[in-house]
Amino acid sequence: MKSSPSANQLLEWHKKNKDKEACITTAEGIPVVGATSSITVGKHGPIVLYDWNLLEKLGHFARERIPERVAHAKGSAAFGYFEVTNDITKYTTSKVFEKIGKKTPVALRFSRVVGSLGAADTDLDPRGFAIKFYTDEGIWDIVGNNTPIFFIRDPALFPSFIRSQRPNPATNLRDWNQYWDFISLRHECAHQTLILFSDRGLPKSYRHMHGFGSHTFSFVDENKKLTYCKFHIKTNQGIKNLSPSKAKQIAGEDPNYYGRDLYDAIEKKDFPSWTFYVQLMKPEEAKFKNFDPFDITKVWPHKENPLIKVGKIVLNKNPSNYFAEVEQLAFSPSNITQGIWISPDRFLQGRLFAYPDAHRHRLGVNYTQLPVNSPFKASNYLRDGIATIENQGGAPNYYPNSFGGPVECPTNYPAPLQVSGEVGHYDTGKTEDNYTQARIFYNKVLDGPARSRLEDNLVSTIKYVTSEKVKMNLLQMFTLVDTDLGNNLKDKLRALNTTHEDGLRN
Ligand code: NDP
Ligand code: HEM
């Protein structure tokens, strides 16, 4: 710890500032006395109302926390750049990919999904991997995870899915019945569940894991032609993982282990980096795939759509004000700049609404005026509301107008998406293939020892399920993925021969 930059932050600050002693002031800059006592009538008397310094201190304190993110509350972030290393300008007009060597500043926030702000970094959970590109044309966000896929494919299920993973609302405790119940009833979860409980579910640090856009997006070329694409951001530090027992030990000793690792690496100038790849698919090809290429529970096999190297991401700067630059950092898949576009992925479409809505609740309607969210001078007709800073220099606040206010920008017209079909509810839970890719992962990607570790990891929490019905449904799901997997899980659960009261809880 002694050599850890994060442990010495205050010492460093003092070194730099020791000759600059400053007076305490109120927030309005008025020098104050009485930093350690309130104003009272005599030594034992009551406090007077004109002690506005005390009122400011207490009033500010009561308001210095905001709602945490409803998902991905616990996280850490850093800043750096994306640099183009290979040319893909024939697929996209995005200025980010304009020419080899071009650098675009980025913010990257890592997180875990269900833990609250105080949760331990090293618990089993998917990790968020959200990148904000400060492009020449506004903000582009990739709000992905460290897994190439997700559990479910319809936004209608997302709130229930997240609730099933959070504490039981009656006991406020993690409830393995509800956790596994949801998964056992929605077999599209099988693929992501296997990936999560495999070795990569417990990365050694944020630096040692990949990131993925997960959804299918589109590139748009200069003729407005679409090419569907997926984003893969692969770690240059190498994949490294923790064993479940090591992860549990660290969770107890240092719940901020990943955050500390990231901060210290950057302060020591050991800048972490990732190589940025894309997979591409022509719309004609998408029509003939034997799986739905817009289904977020599926990958695009590398053999059919190989990875194409595009650039690299380097993180070289820590935030200096965590609250302003990370707690108030607001990502959204709807932040998409020209040359890049959405796709027919319905899960992605659900997210386009959810994030700006969450930010207006969490940070207020003017969250885009916070410098970390948009360092650009906006040019639009949004005005006023709580915490307004900008008035756009007195430009008109209505449109159309005759006074030279900003006008529409035809270059950013959405690319045409061709759709047809009957409006209705289409529950894809049982109509899609939920097992083939999960089976390939279990049988072909993992070797024997990795399969065994995956099964042990699954069993380590399934053993807490007290509902026989849930256990049965779950084992049925895993058997449909692969008979050996189902049988091995049954055997391992039987062998445990444990009651639910063995004292180990997660
Ligand atoms: P490939 O053999 O070309 O690729 C296998 C992929 O699996 C590699 O990207 C590898 O990552 C990754 N991988 C290895 N171990 C794990 C793990 N424990 N957790 C997550 N990913 C892991 O096969 P295909 O492209 O045909 O895909 C086969 C299966 O691999 C898929 O069904 C899917 O489950 C999994 N996969 C596929 C990805 C894709 O985009 N096609 C991406 C990630 C996983 P690395 O190269 O870093 O070792
Ligand atoms: C955070 C909703 C699916 C990755 C959030 C937040 C909400 C949300 C409301 C909190 C935002 C905030 O307060 O700042 C949803 C909904 C989804 C969905 C409704 C599906 C319909 C996904 C998927 C991924 C993902 C599929 C990854 C592939 C993230 C990440 C964050 C996040 C990384 C944290 C961003 C940050 O670091 O600030 N999500 N989410 N989400 N979500 Fe989702």
- Same domain (yes/no): 23, 80: no
Domain count for the chain:
3
Instruction: Output the six-digit token pair for 329.
Output: 């950092």
- Same domain (yes/no): 468, 323: no
Domain extent for 41: 7-61
- Same domain (yes/no): 332, 478: no
Residue 407 is assigned to a structural domain of this protein? no
- Same domain (yes/no): 32, 120: no
- Same domain (yes/no): 113, 50: no
Residue 392 is assigned to a structural domain of this protein? no
Q: Is 145 a catalytic residue?
A: yes
Distances (CA, A) of 329 to 76, 115, 368, 374: 11, 18, 9, 10
- Same domain (yes/no): 49, 168: no
One-letter amino acid at 240 equals K
Residue 388 is assigned to a structural domain of this protein? no
The distance between the two most distant Cα atoms of the chain, rounded to a whole number of Å, is 85
- Same domain (yes/no): 53, 111: no
Q: Please list every protein residue whose CB sits less than 6 Å from any atom of ligand 1.
A: 148, 195, 198-200, 239, 299-303, 437, 440-441, 445
Residue 326 is assigned to a structural domain of this protein? yes
Give the distance, in angstroms, between the CA of residue 366 and the centroid of all CA atoms in the same chain.
22
pTM over 0.90: yes
Instruction: Output the six-digit token pair for 384.
Output: 């006023």
The answer to whether 355 is a known ligand-binding residue is yes
Would you state the pLDDT for residue 497? 66
Would you state the pLDDT for residue 499? 45
Kindly give the number of the ligand 1 atom that is closest to the alpha carbon of 147: 20
Residue 447 is assigned to a structural domain of this protein? yes
Residue 390 is assigned to a structural domain of this protein? no
Would you state the pLDDT for residue 409? 84
Residue at which a domain ends, from 352, 373, 394: 373
**For ligand 2, is residue 111 a contact (CB within 6 Å)?**
yes
Q: State the distance between the two ends of the chain, measured CA to CA, in whole angstroms.
A: 27
Q: Residue 416 and residue 215: Cα distance in Å, rounded?
A: 19
- Same domain (yes/no): 52, 107: no
Q: Is 72 a catalytic residue?
A: yes
- Same domain (yes/no): 21, 104: no
Residue 394 is assigned to a structural domain of this protein? no
Would you state the pLDDT for residue 503? 37
Q: Residue 113 and residue 162: Cα distance in Å, rounded?
A: 9
**pLDDT, tens digit (0-9, with 9 covering 90-100), for 180-222:** 999 999 999 999 999 999 999 999 999 999 999 999 999 999 9
Which residue stretches of the chain have pLDDT < 70?
Answer: 1-2, 415, 497-506
Residue 69 is assigned to a structural domain of this protein? no
